[in-house]
Amino acid sequence: MPEIKVTPLGAGQDVGRSCILVSIGGKNIMLDCGMHMGYNDDRRFPDFSYITQNGRLTDFLDCVIISHFHLDHCGALPYMSEMVGYDGPIYMTHPTKAICPILLEDFRKITVDKKGETNFFTSQMIKDCMKKVIPLNLHQTVQVDDELEIKAYYAGHVLGAAMVHIKVGSESVVYTGDYNMTPDRHLGAAWIDKCRPDILISESTYATTIRDSKRCRERDFLKKVHESIERGGKVLIPVFALGRAQELCILLETFWERMNLKAPIYFSTGLTEKANHYYKLFITWTNQKIRKTFVQRNMFEFKHIKAFDRSYADNPGPMVVFATPGMLHAGQSLQIFKKWAGNEKNMVIMPGYCVQGTIGHKILNGQRKLEMEGRATLDVKLQVEYMSFSAHADAKGIMQLIRMAEPRNMLLVHGEAVKMEFLKGKIEQEFSIDCYMPANGETTTVTTNPSVPVDISLNLLKREMALGGPLPDPKKPRTMHGTLIMKENSLKLVSSEQALKELGLNEHQLRFTCHVQLQDPHSDADTLHRIYTHLKSVLKGYTIQHLPDGTVIVESIVIKVSSSTEDSNTKVLLLSWSYQTLIYNGLLPGG
Amino acid sequence: MAAHLKKRVYEEFSKVVQIPHEETPAKKLRLSKPSKSAALHIDLCKATNSTDALQYLLQFARKPVEAESVEGVVRILLEHYYKETDNSVRLKIASLLGLLSKTQGFSPDCIVDDAINTLSNEKSHQVLAQLLDTLLVIGTQLPESPALRLRLVEVAYKHLSDTYFGVRNKCLQLLGCLGMVDAPVGKENEGPGTSLGGLRDVQSIISDYFGDQDPRVRTAALKAMLQLHERGMKIHQIIYDQACRLLTDDYEQVRSAAVQMVWVLSQLYPESIVPIPSSNEEIRLVDDAFGKISHMVSDGSWMVRVQAAKTLGSMLQVSPHFLEQTLDKKLMSDLRRKRTAHERAKELFASGEFSSGRKWADDAPKEKLDTNTVNLIASGACGAFVHGLEDEMFEVRIAAVEALCHLARSSPSFAEKCLDFLVDMFNDEIEEVRLQSIHVLREISTHITLREDQLDTVLAVLEDSSRDIREALHELLCYTNVSTKECIQLALLELLKNLNKYPTDRNSVWKCLKFLGSRHPTLVLPLVPELLSTHPYFDTPEPDMDDPAYIAVLVLVFNAAKSCPTMPALFSDHTFRHYAYLRDSLSHLVPPLRLPGRKQVYGLDSVDSGPGSGSVESAQLFLQQSLNRVSTIQNLEASGAQDLLDLTIRDLQRLGELQTELAGAADFCATYLRCQLLLMKALQEKLWNMAVPLCLKQNVTATAAAQQILEETYKLEFLYSGLESRQVATIHHVRLQAKALQLVLTSVHTSHCERFLQDVESFQRLFLTELPHLQDSFVDKLLELMPRLSSCKPVELVKILQTTLRQSGLLQLRLPEQIHRATATIIEPTGESDNPLRFTSGLVVALDIDATLEHVQDPQNTVKVQVLYPDGQSHVIHPKPGDFRKPGPHRHRLITQVYLSHTAWTEPSQIEVRLLLAYSSSSTSLTSPSKLGWSESLESLPAAEAAVEGTIPFSKAVKVFIMPKPARR
């Protein structure tokens, strides 16, 4: 039986470093090529030597598909393509292709320029890598080669995030990347058609969470900001540059617009401006509201949000500032935080999760005195708020996607093992399909039951259709007569005459005969006549003929009578019928 | 070159030879102008190939056919049909047959046989489908013939097994539209041999096609079933399971139709019990259906989601237990139970700690959940609305909000529960959704009392920059119940803030506070000292009476005081004074109060407050009496009659002012009587008996009177709504009199006379039914003399008119039931501003106009804005249809911008802005144009009264100071 093999090189029972190998119908595909944020050594990148010890990756991989621009999904791409060596096609959506190099460059700068690492990919390598990228459109079927085709579906999550449907023959796999089933202020919800893949590879970051409605969170957030501004306070929102930041910007921008607020909103500059540019361009990838109104006004043309300058932090009066990084561990957000921490009118809103050890984590846990470098302490008087804005599907969302796609098997990646276990149980229980959760380097094999296409001649099909009932009922399989011819690589179903002709064979007919002995004193002809009348009385509704040449024909069965050579009273009845599928029950009289 | 030319000449020449040959039949046709059928026949005969034939048919289809010749045309078409080999032509013919059988006055039963015959010989599937469609048209045209129906249904059965989906579709449609409602259709006459066999009814046959391989056929089957239901057939309950299965179909249109089907069945058999698969339990069918449709709210296709969300709203019989599940979304985090923000807010409120800052991890997960109890894909109605309200498409969200509204109105407990969700929707990104949810909350607000934290969220929207939202919210607050005095304070505070930010909301805010006060007198009472900032010992400074915020507070307090007699004791002196002032200036906002110890001063007020329902009747009576009195006018002397009319008009006008309910009727009567008075005066000029051209002076006044009467009649006709044709006839009658007067006065010209006679004729035509009521009137007499009039000379005509006018008496006015005068009030601009609107000359400046219109029918087409410049220039601006909103019945609101421009002025000056009601008399002519069949017949009508178009100013003019500055070079 044909098999599909899935091997995670990263993201198997783990978050980060997404990299999954899929072998389907003799094709090898790499899904995502990410890096791990938590490591600075070799574990940072997936272990590409797993694929090939020596020899180029190009020979082993048919294509690489990147789902979206987050570094844990594309961070290792230049390393793989330029340093390990891969020249095959790389597929990603247009927005991903546009934004991905910005993030990679930023990542490179931090690692090489700030941390001083050597043996890292260069700017040129990023450029070269991007040259190998083939952009994808939504719902566009791209033929990678004669047999392998891929198609992208909208995934929400971040701008340009896509789910991919990979198909070889009748076998198919869907990889979701990261996705979001609830729409937000700038992106829509993930959607896929009922494509019934053999395996659905889904992320499961929030496998054990069901989230509250988005509206409550938004309302809370806006209310907090609004109140603080009205008090004359300053609001600091530490964010990571892309994704959530844009959502919050839109949220605040529209709120400012609606409520006619005048306080300035600033966005600390950096890569954001470049990225915002792309957000403006890729309107088709955003949600309904932005898509419908962009002709009047592009929502990403912020009216109230201006670029931040360091000196603005000391300006009097209320203001809102978005600053990077998101965990308050360094950079501009920390500087501003230090300035504003002393005033209880001010507020800091943490829109995401904070890693242990960062200032963000400390203040969220209620610490009011912070130790800074150089023995200085900082009194935290400002209000600290936490708002979770996350764009991953929660447990319900994952189930909803499964219901949409109706896969035959399920495979979970990009999540913690314990949580996956729970979801796995639920999936198996609700949908009664198999669910796998391989660890990194562990291969899952799924046997498939592909349908084999067979050509059939139109005449035969029509003839057979006409034979049956009034209408072909699709839910019931129908039997038909024909001959299957396997020639070279093709299968053909033809009528038997045609098959004989094609193969140059003679037709053989199979006839069954049997002798029945009867004790009957009458002459042969009389006996036959008696049999004829008897049959006529017994078998109503059948055509029974008495032919002049001394035979009785019941439908297609021939009956002949001859006297036995030994005893003229013993008559031998010869019954003969050809091979037929239809059997007439009770045709033979009791003798 | 020459050779080339020569060749071309020959070419052209050879063509010339051919053309006359072809043209001959065409020419003949034009000369003889035969009937349509003959023309078509010739056309079709001429057609050499199928494309030509198709062209002819297409041209033919554009023109209408009279009922008499339809049959002939059909015969010819059928004849060609049999001859035709091309599928597309046959298809077109088939569709034409259907079109023709729709012709009014033609009974299609004569072509049924032919149509059915053609079916049996047809090979092309497309044509077959089209023929069936034609049969469907014929069948629906003849609902009274069961035999025909039976035949058509038989035909449908026969073709149901066709391999082409279109044919099956049409057959199902036929069955749905024509299948017998009363009795199951027997197939006995065809013998038991057929595969359908036995006694099968339409439903089971249609339901067989629920499993068809083509999604379009499945949809058609469901639609046919729904059609049967609409026609009154009771759908069997067996269908329910089949329909439920189709809810998971791969195709959205099937799912969408299945949702409808399931809904229909849930309404038919709400109480029957269905088993839950995979368990032994059983539930009511309506609950089961509700659960299933709830599931569809998270469907992949948004069309289905909209359908499902809408449908949920109409399932009112569902058990409360199920209903409440739709709002349920069990939260968890890392497998621990979490409380929703709503629950937390409620708890916070209950513990008395309101609006504390959010603490980190206050949403920390609580108890650990048993993994087995967590139901991820909820099998019931779980969270349907939670999903629907969060949907990506605003269409779905709106549908969900509406559904919530319907359900909440029928279930108070559900209303309570869905409150939080609706309040959340106030924050939607699309204004339409926000607005809709505010409206919904208003509709269900009788069921609910807002908690303080909820009110807080609601009030936050008051700062919205959209006027519609704010006004909707004010409206909502008018109907809201709140629980504590803090809520009142909060609401007042926010409303004042709103007033401060958007001063234009003044009226709306005051109105809102009026209702807030009268609804919660006991909650306002403890707040009064604070609100009025009175102090037990010290005199506080008197607040500024013109401050809108202070007025707002007073409106709240006074309205509360109306039903709380102890409150006035808390007022200080100036409050009483302010009361007196406000009661007079803003009487619609400040109710009459019984103030202790001041009765003698304000006694009049309390008497004034008297007019209840009883006085309306007495006023009505008074109105009727005055009208009756007027009818005796004939018996009076001329001067006495005039006095009486004068008096009555005055009375009526005063009545209109006093009794707002009757203002329309009183005004109407007064205007009518004024017309009569004018007419009377004009006719009673002393010198009237002289030769007309001699007395120029009288002539002038009488002409003016005639002109004025004409104008007044237009006002009467178009400014008042609720008129019956009787009144319209009376008005037209007066107008006719005025025209006669004009004719007598002006000149004697044949064309004038002709026009007048036409007017009389059209009057007769229009008010044929009313003529008996007009006995002894001017027109009655005129019509008697009509034969003479139409032949006589203009001079004679004038003479006759003169005498008839003088002899004819006053036509008694009968009062219609409900009559309202269209009014308009310009709220904005107020005309009070002393600051001129400055702009550069030659450029435009936008002036915001905000006006309320009452009792205006079809304001989109009739209401115009007129701008009058000091130099006499005037512009009429048509507001966009979108600028009109409809906040209530008979009420419209016009919020628009008009663009002003002018050349430079040396100093600011005032322009006038007013609203006009445009009318055109042709639009109200009582014969509806729809009655006249084909367009040709319209032309044959004599150009009746030439449409008189004009405008009536119906609002007070507002003056706006503007100053166009010369452009700077």
What pLDDT shows up at residue B403?
Answer: 92
Same structural domain for residues A489 and A520?
A: no
Chain B partners within 8 Å of A254 (Cβ): 429
Question: Cα distance from A586 to chain B (closest Cα, Å)?
Answer: 22
Averaged pLDDT in 10-residue chunks for chain A of 591 residues: 89 86 92 83 85 82 92 90 90 93 86 80 92 93 92 92 92 93 88 92 86 78 88 87 80 87 83 77 87 85 85 88 80 86 88 74 83 79 81 86 92 89 88 92 90 83 68 62 81 84 83 83 82 84 81 82 77 80 42 34
The 3-state DSSP class for residue B891 equals strand
**Residue B352: pLDDT above 80?**
no
Q: Which residue of B has its CA nearest to A194?
A: B250
Q: Is residue B36 part of a domain?
A: no
Q: Is residue A493 part of a domain?
A: yes
Same structural domain for residues B718 and B836?
A: no
Q: Do A210 and B331 touch (CB under 8 A)?
A: yes
Q: Is residue A418 part of a domain?
A: yes
- The residues, any chain, with a CB within 8 Å of residue B508's CB and separated by 6 or more, are B470, B471, B474
**Residue B685: pLDDT above 70?**
no
Q: What is the CATH number of the domain that holds B397?
A: 1.25.10
Question: Cα distance from A20 to chain B (closest Cα, Å)?
Answer: 25
Q: Is residue A204 part of a domain?
A: yes
What pLDDT shows up at residue B29?
Answer: 38
Same structural domain for residues B755 and B865?
A: no
Backbone angles phi, psi at A38, to 5 degrees: -80, -15
Chain segment B154-171, per-residue pLDDT in tens: 888 888 888 888 888 999
- Domain end residue (candidates: B777, B807, B837): B807
Check residues B111 and A585 and name the one with the higher pLDDT.
Answer: B111
Handedness of CA B121, B127, B129, B135 (dihedral sign): negative
Q: What is the DSSP letter of B596?
A: T
DSSP string of B29-59? HHHH---HHHHHHHHHHH--SHHHHHHHHHH
Q: What is the CATH number of the domain that holds A221?
A: 3.40.50.10890
For a pLDDT cut of 90, what percent of chain B falls above it?
A: 6
Same structural domain for residues B439 and B458?
A: no
What pLDDT shows up at residue B604?
Answer: 42
What pLDDT shows up at residue B951?
Answer: 80
**Residue B689: pLDDT above 70?**
no
From residue B393, alpha-carbon distances to A184, A293, B419 in Å are 11, 14, 22
What is the crossing angle of helices B165-178 and B146-159, to 10°? 150
- Domain end residue (candidates: B422, B447, B472): B447
Same structural domain for residues B587 and B493?
A: yes
Q: A13-27, A137-151, B66-80, B660-674: which has the highest mean pLDDT?
A: A137-151
Of A555, A591, A586, the C-alpha closest to A573 is A591
What pLDDT shows up at residue B717?
Answer: 82
Whether B370 contacts chain A with CB within 8 A = no
Q: What is the DSSP letter of A328?
A: S
Chain A partners within 8 Å of B430 (Cβ): 289
Cβ–Cβ pairs < 8 A, chains A and B: 134
What pLDDT shows up at residue B344?
Answer: 64
Of B263, B262, B294, B448, the C-alpha closest to B383 is B294
- Domain end residue (candidates: A386, A403, A418): A386
Same structural domain for residues B826 and B957?
A: yes
Identity of residue B86: D
Check residues A245 and B535 and name the one with the higher pLDDT.
Answer: A245
Whether A395 contacts chain B with CB within 8 A = yes
**Residue B299: pLDDT above 90?**
no
Whether B330 contacts chain A with CB within 8 A = yes
Identity of residue A158: V
Q: Is residue A270 part of a domain?
A: yes
Q: Do A474 and B460 touch (CB under 8 A)?
A: no
**Residue B932: pLDDT above 60?**
no
Same structural domain for residues B800 and B669?
A: yes
Same structural domain for residues A93 and A199?
A: yes
Average pLDDT score over residue span B949-964: 83
What pLDDT shows up at residue B35?
Answer: 57
Same structural domain for residues A261 and A329?
A: yes
Cβ-nearest to B331 among A193, A211, A426? A211
Q: What is the CATH number of the domain that holds B893?
A: 2.60.40.10
Cβ-nearest to B161 among A189, A385, A471? A471
**Residue B941: pLDDT above 50?**
no
Of the given ranges (A124-128, B274-278, B507-511), which has the lowest mean pLDDT?
A: B274-278
Same structural domain for residues B909 and B763?
A: no
Chain B partners within 8 Å of A216 (Cβ): 340-342, 424
Distance CA A404, CA B298 (A): 9
Q: Is residue A590 part of a domain?
A: no
Q: Is residue A354 part of a domain?
A: yes
Q: Do A208 and B333 touch (CB under 8 A)?
A: yes
What pLDDT shows up at residue A91?
Answer: 95
Handedness of CA B766, B771, B775, B781 (dihedral sign): positive
Same structural domain for residues B787 and B842?
A: no
Chain A partners within 8 Å of B460 (Cβ): 223, 226
Same structural domain for residues A341 and A373?
A: yes
Q: Is residue B68 part of a domain?
A: no
Domain limits for position A318: 214-386
Distance CA A343, CA A235 (A): 11
Whether A442 contacts chain B with CB within 8 A = no
Same structural domain for residues A427 and A537?
A: no
Same structural domain for residues A295 and A325?
A: yes
Q: Which of residues 333-392 of A touch B (CB under 8 A)?
A: 364-366, 383-386
Output the average pLDDT for chain B: 77
What pLDDT shows up at residue B900?
Answer: 85
Return the active site residues of A.
203
Chain segment B583-622, per-residue pLDDT in tens: 888 888 888 887 765 544 443 444 444 444 456 777 778 8
Identity of residue A539: L
Q: Is residue A515 part of a domain?
A: yes
Q: Is residue A130 part of a domain?
A: yes
What pLDDT shows up at residue A271?
Answer: 61
Q: Do B161 and A257 touch (CB under 8 A)?
A: no
pLDDT band (50, 70, 90) for residue B676? confident
Average pLDDT score over residue span B912-937: 56
Same structural domain for residues B784 and B847?
A: no
How many other C-beta atoms can be found within 10 angstroms of the C-beta atom of residue A353? Answer: 13
Q: What is the complex's ipTM, to 2 decimals?
A: 0.80
Domain limits for position B640: 617-807
Same structural domain for residues A194 and A90?
A: yes
Q: Which residue of A has its CA nearest to B469?
A: A258
Chain segment B781-801, per-residue pLDDT in tens: 777 777 777 777 777 777 777
Whether A65 contacts chain B with CB within 8 A = no
Q: What is the CATH number of the domain that holds A165?
A: 3.60.15.10
Of the given ranges (A471-485, B212-226, B450-464), which has the lowest mean pLDDT?
A: A471-485
- The residues, any chain, with a CB within 8 Å of residue B251's CB and separated by 6 or more, are B215, B218, B219
Q: Do A258 and B466 touch (CB under 8 A)?
A: yes
What pLDDT shows up at residue B28?
Answer: 38
- Domain end residue (candidates: B447, B467, B494): B447
From residue A472, alpha-carbon distances to A406, A448, A454, A478 in Å are 26, 28, 19, 8
Q: Do A399 and B376 touch (CB under 8 A)?
A: yes
Cβ-nearest to A259 among B160, B195, B465? B465
Chain segment B769-780, per-residue pLDDT in tens: 777 777 767 777
Same structural domain for residues A181 and A219?
A: no
The total domain count for chain A is: 4
The total domain count for chain B is: 4
Question: Cα distance from B408 to chain A (closest Cα, Å)?
Answer: 20
Same structural domain for residues A9 and A145?
A: yes
**Count helices and strands in chain A by DSSP H and E runs:** 15, 30
Q: Is residue B262 part of a domain?
A: no
Same structural domain for residues B344 and B402?
A: yes
Same structural domain for residues A46 and A124?
A: yes
Same structural domain for residues B380 and B453?
A: no
Average pLDDT score over residue span B42-70: 77
Q: Is residue B667 part of a domain?
A: yes
CB burial class (10 A; 0-12, 13-18, 19+) of residue B554? buried
Q: Do B213 and A386 touch (CB under 8 A)?
A: no
Same structural domain for residues B783 and B891?
A: no
**Which of A187, A205, A250, A288 to mutate to test binding with chain B, by most B CBs within 10 Å of its CB?**
A288
Whether B300 contacts chain A with CB within 8 A = yes
Of A56, A54, A41, A49, the C-alpha closest to A21 is A49
